Amino acid sequence: MTAHGEARGLETLTGSSPRPGQRLGAVSGHLLKEIRERIGASQDQLAELLQVDKSTIQGWESGRRSLNSSRAGSLRAIKRNLLRLGGEPALLMLLDQALDADSIINFVVNDQAIQRADDHPLASWVLTRDTTHMLAWALTGNAPASLPATGKVQRRGPSPSSPQLPRDELGAFFSQMRRVAELAHWSGDEAALLRRQALYLCSYDTSPDTAAWLAEIRRRPQRARAQGWSPDWADARSVATSLTRHGDNGALAAFVATGMGDEIGEAANLNYWAYWLGIDSFPKADDHFMVAAPAQSWDALALLRGLTDRLKPGIGAIDLNVHSVWALLALRRGLLAADPDLSRNLQARVTALLDSTGISAQARQELVSVHYGLRLST
């Protein structure tokens, strides 16, 4: 297909009906079951409280029926009643993200028809960490980090421990994501966010060729751009972090060394971290928020706490995490003195990383710099 033909490809995606047996509400349904079981309520008790049939609860929890089909007022009432019954607030807060994840999965798996790039749900809204992790829960079976820990819930008979999609739906999801990413590549800046987010979700694919496909995407020449930041910067950051999921740490080390060598890149990185970690909670329509505001419009101490938690040996994106801590402390001098407990926690994590392997030479130098700053601040 020619570049011109691919540029028009986003106009040719065809729609289809839900697949037979498809779980339309897999993520939100599994989360609802998790909430109910942690409360200790039966399906009968929850049905009585919500004034619905038990079959409705069973349909929601199995994913055969989607909570997204409930009216907005009904969803609020469900959450209020679950809270009154003893539902964990943190879990109830995640229901909206679970519903978002279900919407995206159903759109992708059913290959919904779109006429323009921004008709796709990944094209006009920057995913939050919680929504991304809810998607990953369905794609990989790995529970989100934001899911509060609890003792093992006792279940009767065989019951799935996650909302992971069946093999055919996983295949359909990743196939469509690759297709959309390829088509968006030729559609210019209007599809930049769609391309970046599709690429990132593709990195959860465990197919043997995923790493090679992502690496090939990274090697493609970038579109011509004006001086300074462009959506391609965010794209390169996302692909580099995605490759670490497949054992390729070199791409990220190269990006850290070259992609954040000026104030624009450093500010964009910290602004994105603030959004990803929920410190900047305002929704974003595209990636330009990374450079639309100065990198001091959020709570720097909260950001340092969030980044400190990510300084762990063995994390794939550790080079980026180290650099981000180093850059934040360089931007906000005196921050270490604001919270002695945080400084001690950071000191312990820096020491552990310096004693470990698997970090780049640049990351090691930045850790030494942070270590020295911590000694001076005590």
Q: What is the pLDDT of residue 112?
A: 66
Q: What is the pLDDT of residue 14?
A: 44
Indicate whether 69 belongs to any domain: yes
For the chain, helix (H) and strand (E) counts, in that order, are 18, 0
Residues 264 and 134 in one domain: no
Residues 252 and 323: beta-carbon distance below 8 Å: no
Neighbours of 230 (CB within 10 A): 19
Indicate whether 208 belongs to any domain: no
Indicate whether 182 belongs to any domain: no
Q: How many domains, the chain?
A: 2
User: Last residue of a domain, which of 153, 171, 189?
Assistant: 171
Indicate whether 342 belongs to any domain: yes
Residues 10 and 139 in one domain: yes
Indicate whether 234 belongs to any domain: no
User: Last residue of a domain, which of 171, 186, 212?
Assistant: 171
Q: What residue type is 94 in one-letter code?
A: L
Which residues have CB under 8 Å from 264's CB, separation 6+? 228, 229, 291
User: CATH code at 103?
Assistant: 1.10.260.40
Q: Which domain holds residue 24?
A: 3-145+164-171
Buried b (16+ CB within 10 A) or exposed e, 66-99: bbeebeeeebeebbeebeebebbeebbebbbbbb
Residues 95 and 31: beta-carbon distance below 8 Å: yes
Indicate whether 180 belongs to any domain: no
User: Last residue of a domain, which of 156, 171, 186?
Assistant: 171
Indicate whether 198 belongs to any domain: no
Put residue 111 in one of left, alpha, beta given phi > 0 → left and psi -120 to 50 → alpha. Answer: left
CA distance 132 to 117: 20
CA distance 301 to 323: 16
Residues 7 and 140 in one domain: yes
Task: Render each residue's pLDDT in the chain as its tens digit; 378 residues.
Answer: 333 333 334 444 444 455 554 668 999 999 999 999 999 999 999 998 888 899 999 999 999 888 877 765 588 888 998 999 899 999 999 999 999 999 999 999 987 666 677 789 999 899 999 999 999 999 999 999 888 876 555 556 557 788 989 999 999 999 999 999 988 888 878 899 999 999 999 999 999 999 999 988 888 766 544 446 888 899 999 999 999 999 998 899 999 988 887 889 999 999 999 999 999 999 999 999 999 877 678 999 999 999 999 999 988 899 999 999 999 999 988 898 889 999 999 999 999 999 998 899 999 999 999 999 998 876
Residues 139 and 253 in one domain: no
pTM as predicted = 0.88
Which residues have CB under 8 Å from 10's CB, separation 6+? 114, 116, 117, 120, 180, 183, 184, 187, 191
Q: What is the pLDDT of residue 69?
A: 76
Q: What is the pLDDT of residue 119?
A: 83
Indicate whether 140 belongs to any domain: yes
Residues 155 and 37: beta-carbon distance below 8 Å: yes
Q: What is the pLDDT of residue 116?
A: 72
Distances (CA, A) of 327 to 96, 268, 300: 33, 11, 11
Buried b (16+ CB within 10 A) or exposed e, 276-307: bbebbeeebebbbbbbeeebeebebbebbbbb
For 88, half-sphere exposure in the C-beta direction (CA atoms, 13 angstrom radius) is: 18
Q: Of 142, 128, 143, give the one whose Cα is nearest residue 277.
A: 128
Residues 12 and 141 in one domain: yes
Q: What residue type is 86 in one-letter code?
A: G
The DSSP code for 114 is -
